[in-house]
């Protein structure tokens, strides 16, 4: 039977951890973003437009808050974003 010696097992383990981690990290290209929109008193704002603008590419993605004031961007390219909320009548 082909058993590995202890030093060989350690080297194999380290190789799997190092190369496995690098391949996993290299594949993260998207993320999600979620939150709640509320006014200064803490009251949630429903049906407001939430805009996420990628700071590097200027790409804009829009969603709308639900009945609980929550919004979700389920799949955004990884990066830094500026978030805007548009509510008619609010300043």
More confident residue, 17 or 83: 83
Torsion from C-alpha of 47, 85, 88, 59, nearest 10 degrees: -100
pLDDT band at 14 (very low <50, low <70, confident <90, very high): low
CB 23 within 8 A of CB 15: no
Instruction: Write down the pLDDT at residue 60.
Output: 95
pLDDT in tens, 23-77: 455 566 888 888 999 888 888 889 989 999 999 999 999 999 999 999 899 999 9
CA max distance for the chain = 77
The residue among 48, 59, 49, 65 whose CA lies nearest residue 82 is: 59
Instruction: Write down the pLDDT at residue 84.
Output: 87
Rounded-to-integer distance, Cα 37 and Cα 46, Å: 8
pTM of this prediction exceeds 0.75: no
């Amino acid at each position: 039977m082909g058993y590995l010696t202890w030093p060989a097992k350690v080297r194999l383990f380290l190789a799997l951890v190092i190369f496995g981690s690098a391949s996993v990290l290299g594949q993260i290209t998207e993320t999600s973003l979620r939150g709640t929109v509320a006014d200064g008193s803490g009251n949630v704002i429903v049906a407001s437009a939430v805009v996420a603008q990628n700071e590097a590419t200027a790409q804009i993605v829009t969603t709308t808050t639900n009945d609980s004031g929550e919004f979700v961007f389920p799949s955004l390219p990884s990066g830094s974003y500026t978030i805007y909320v548009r509510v008619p009548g609010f300043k």
